[in-house]
Amino acid sequence: MAALWRKDAKLWVEGRKNFFENLESLYVQKIHNRQSCLWIHVASLGEFEQGRPLIEKIRSEHPGLPICLSFFSPSGYEIRKNYEGADLVCYFPSDLKDEISRFIDLIRPLAVIFVKYDFWFNTLRELTYRHIPYYFISVHLPKDVYLRKSFMSPLLDELKNAEGIFVQQEEDLHFFRSKNFAEVWRAGDTRIDRVLQLAKQAIENEVVEKFIHGQPCLIAGSAWLPELQLISQIADVLIAAGWKIIIATHHTDEETLRETEALFRGQCCRYGDSVHQGDIMIIDRIGLLNTLYRYAHLALVGGGFGKGIHNTLEPAAFGIPLCFGPNYEKFIEASDFVRLGLARVVITSDDLLSMAQSCLDVNIVAAHKNRIGQWMHTHQGATQFIFDKIQPIITRSAQQATR
Helix 332-339 / helix 362-379 crossing angle, nearest 10 deg? 140
In a domain, 117, yes or no: yes
Judgement on whether residues 174 and 248 belong to the same structural domain of the protein: no
Region of residue 266 (left: phi > 0; alpha: psi -120 to 50; beta: else)? left
In a domain, 62, yes or no: yes
Q: 164-190, pLDDT tens digit by residue?
A: 999 999 999 999 999 999 999 999 999
What three-state secondary structure class fits 85?
coil
Q: pTM (2 decimals)?
A: 0.87
Judgement on whether residues 351 and 386 belong to the same structural domain of the protein: no
pLDDT surpasses 90 at 340: yes
Q: 224-268, pLDDT tens digit by residue?
A: 999 999 999 999 999 999 999 999 999 889 999 999 999 998 789
Which range marks the domain in which residue 150 is found? Answer: 7-188+381-401
The number of distinct structural domains making up the chain is 2
| C-beta atoms surrounding 180 within 10 Å | 8
Give the H/E segment covering residue 284: none
Judgement on whether residues 149 and 213 belong to the same structural domain of the protein: no
Judgement on whether residues 214 and 174 belong to the same structural domain of the protein: no
Judgement on whether residues 216 and 163 belong to the same structural domain of the protein: no
Judgement on whether residues 393 and 364 belong to the same structural domain of the protein: no
In a domain, 163, yes or no: yes
Judgement on whether residues 385 and 350 belong to the same structural domain of the protein: no
pLDDT of residue 2: 43
Judgement on whether residues 265 and 305 belong to the same structural domain of the protein: yes
Task: State the virtual CA torsion across 89, 90, 95, 101 in degrees, nearest 10.
Answer: -90
What three-state secondary structure class fits 398?
helix
Judgement on whether residues 244 and 390 belong to the same structural domain of the protein: no
Measure the CA–CA gap between 66 and 142, rounded to whole angstroms.
33
Q: 123-164, pLDDT tens digit by residue?
A: 999 999 999 999 999 999 988 889 999 999 999 999 999 999
Q: How far is CA 324 from CA 70, 223, 239, in A?
A: 31, 10, 21
Q: What is the 3-state secondary structure (H, E, C) of 41-58?
A: EECCHHHHHHHHHHHHHH
Give the H/E segment covering residue 163: none
Q: For the residues 21-25, what does the mean pLDDT come to?
A: 87
Q: Confidence band (pLDDT; 50, 70, 90) for 1?
A: very low
pLDDT surpasses 90 at 114: yes
Q: What is the CATH number of the domain that holds 273?
A: 3.40.50.2000
Question: Percent of the chain having pLDDT more than 90?
Answer: 79
| C-beta atoms surrounding 188 within 10 Å | 22
pLDDT of residue 325: 98
Give the H/E segment covering residue 11: helix 2-15
pLDDT surpasses 90 at 13: no
Measure the CA–CA gap between 289 and 286, rounded to whole angstroms.
7
In a domain, 354, yes or no: yes
In a domain, 252, yes or no: yes
pLDDT of residue 7: 60
pLDDT surpasses 90 at 117: no
Q: Which residue stretches of 108-143 are H helix?
A: 121-129
Closest to 312 (Cα-Cα) out of 285, 345, 280 = 345
In a domain, 196, yes or no: no
In a domain, 195, yes or no: no
